[in-house]
Amino acid sequence: MFGKKEEPEVSEIMTQRRPSNVEAINQQYRRSISNTGLTGASALTVKQSIIPITLVTVLFFLWGFAYGLLDVLNAKFQNSLNITAAKAGGLQGAYFGAYLIGPPTYSGWIVRKFGYRWTFITGLCIYGVGALMFWPSAVKRSFAGFCGSLFIVGSGLSTLETSANPFIATCGPPRLSEFRLELSQSFQAVGSVMAPLLASRVFFKTTDPKDLTNVQWTYLGIAAFVFLLAVVFYFSPIPEVTDADMALQAEQSSGLTGYVDRPMRKQYKLFFGVAAQFCYVGAQVGVASQFIKYSVESAGISDSAGSDRYAIAQGLFAIGRFCAAGCMMYIKPRWILMFFMTMIMIFIAASMGVWGEGGVATLSVVLFFESCIFPTIFTLSIRGLGRHTKRGSSWIVASVSGGALFPSITGLVADHKNYHIAMVIPLCGFLVAFAFPIYLNTLYARELDGFRETKIGYHDKDGTIGDAEYEERRASIIHAEKGIGESGILHEEKGIYSSDS
């Protein structure tokens, strides 16, 4: 929506001077870079991208930790204020509703207008303000204030996702895009598992359930920490990968992928990806929000024992992400997505009919296979977007708002039937998401495999493939050895980005 004018035209990209990847690294401390200009970051090597990727991965872990802590803190608020189940659904609506508003509007505009660095900083600051707002909400014991605070926190986290996900996906060799995001989000999952365990056993071990003092101080600590993290990102080395860089990279890979620049309205893979992500996230949150109650109903255990089962399931989720990341080094991501979605469909259907601890185990396996879905749908959806990469990424992040719809419907069915039958709602969401890998494997196999086969960002005897200096060196060598003209040079260079080079 906002920031359409910040996207470059192909004609202006091809007439610009081509900076080298060394220049991209030398300029990584710059505070602002135009999204329509080339930076040389389209051919960053693994070595050049390690430091910024590590820094943002640390952000993923801390963000996952804070997100996991939110669940515990929110539960404390609900118990203290005697919030009903219906109102609890309103809390989820406030949090996930922010994802529907931010990424397609102000968050997406900021990342295109000012770049990844300022979007990181903006997201952290909004998150910090939301955390601070919990203090007066706790003092006044206000449900409306609590919802408003959660909305602001959701706005901050959605802004972080608008920048962090595409940055990880595009910073480095394109063939490793899915692996990078999967691995980084694995650490986010670890943080989400650690936070509630630490909170229940350390922060709130001996507190009165009605006392919100510890909650207030914990939120204040979170606010101080994220503001400090914003300062760290201001001074950190963050190379800017612009939409112009992504357009150039897509053009360089066109011999392998069949890439052709298209207007945004014709990016059908992206649109399907947004719909699949919306339904998947909604189904995932629907399962997570009812997991404990399902366990109590299925196995006849207490809420405390159900929480322990949920902690185990979350651990399986984190393990699943690391497993999927490792598999992506050897297996095509589109195949992995297809396999994991197939397993989800099998086990979510089984969870509707299996009772006892077997039902709990079946639903836990669903969480294991959920692990890789979000990052894989994300990266495969933005493959080949070229100059539309940042805007397309913001739309996929906006689809996280599906988490505001599915849990309430799942809970409504559970109230009228039972939690086993209620799993039909997540099943419907997973079914839509399951259609996406079928679509990809049927119609987009060549494009996706082409990006996986490209050697851009890798070294050969002439330098870094895809880099401006590399192309100049190759052109001079071809010209000297064969004595051919400019058209011949271009013809020779059409195949230099493949894995067989």
Q: Residue 29's pLDDT is what?
A: 59
Average pLDDT over residues 470-482: 66
- Residue 37 phi, psi dihedral angles, 5° rounding: -105, 150
Which helix (H) or strand (E) is 6 found in, with range? none
Q: Residue 94's pLDDT is what?
A: 83
169 vs 111: CA distance, rounded Å: 15
Average pLDDT over residues 29-49: 81
Average pLDDT over residues 97-126: 92
Name the residue with higher pLDDT: 197 or 400. Answer: 400
pLDDT per residue as tens digits for the range 387-409: 999 999 999 999 999 988 888 88
> Percent of the chain having pLDDT more than 70?
85
Average pLDDT over residues 339-355: 95
pLDDT surpassing 70 at residue 149: yes
Name the residue with higher pLDDT: 199 or 13. Answer: 13
H helix and E strand count, the chain = 23, 2
Q: Residue 346's pLDDT is what?
A: 96
pLDDT surpassing 60 at residue 36: yes
Report which of 10, 357, 392, 398 is spatially closest to residue 166, judged by C-alpha positions: 392
Q: Residue 501's pLDDT is what?
A: 46
Q: Residue 26's pLDDT is what?
A: 76
Q: Which amino acid is at 137?
A: S
Q: Residue 486's pLDDT is what?
A: 45
Eight-state DSSP code of residue 82: T
pLDDT surpassing 60 at residue 4: no
Long-range (24+ apart) CB contacts under 8 A made by 315-319 are 315/193, 316/364, 316/365, 316/367, 316/368, 316/371, 317/189, 317/193, 317/367, 317/368, 317/370, 317/371, 318/186, 318/189, 318/190, 318/192, 318/193, 318/371, 319/368, 319/371
Q: Residue 19's pLDDT is what?
A: 83
Q: Which of 11-20, 60-69, 80-89, 437-446 has the lowest mean pLDDT?
A: 80-89
Say how many C-beta atoms besides its own lie within 10 A of residue 416's C-beta. 9
Confidence of residue 498 (pLDDT cuts 50, 70, 90): low
Q: Which of 279-283, 325-329, 471-475, 488-492 has the lowest mean pLDDT?
A: 488-492
Q: How many Cα atoms are found within 13 Å in the side-chain-facing hemisphere of 420?
A: 15
Confidence of residue 341 (pLDDT cuts 50, 70, 90): very high
Average pLDDT over residues 37-66: 86
Write the CA distances from 208 to 20, 79, 161, 214, 336, integer angstroms: 60, 11, 35, 10, 46
Q: Residue 479's pLDDT is what?
A: 64
Average pLDDT across the chain, whole number: 85
Question: Is residue 366 a contact partner of residue 347, using CB atoms and an 8 Å limit?
Answer: yes
pLDDT surpassing 50 at residue 487: no
pLDDT surpassing 80 at residue 122: yes
pLDDT per residue as tens digits for the range 242-266: 999 999 898 888 888 888 889 999 9
Q: Which of 312-316, 353-357, 491-495 has the lowest mean pLDDT?
A: 491-495
Q: Residue 461's pLDDT is what?
A: 75
103 vs 441: CA distance, rounded Å: 28
Average pLDDT over residues 129-158: 87
Q: Residue 143's pLDDT is what?
A: 79
pLDDT per residue as tens digits for the range 289-324: 888 889 989 999 887 788 888 889 989 999 999 999
Q: Residue 185's pLDDT is what?
A: 92
Average pLDDT over residues 64-70: 73
pLDDT surpassing 70 at residue 485: no
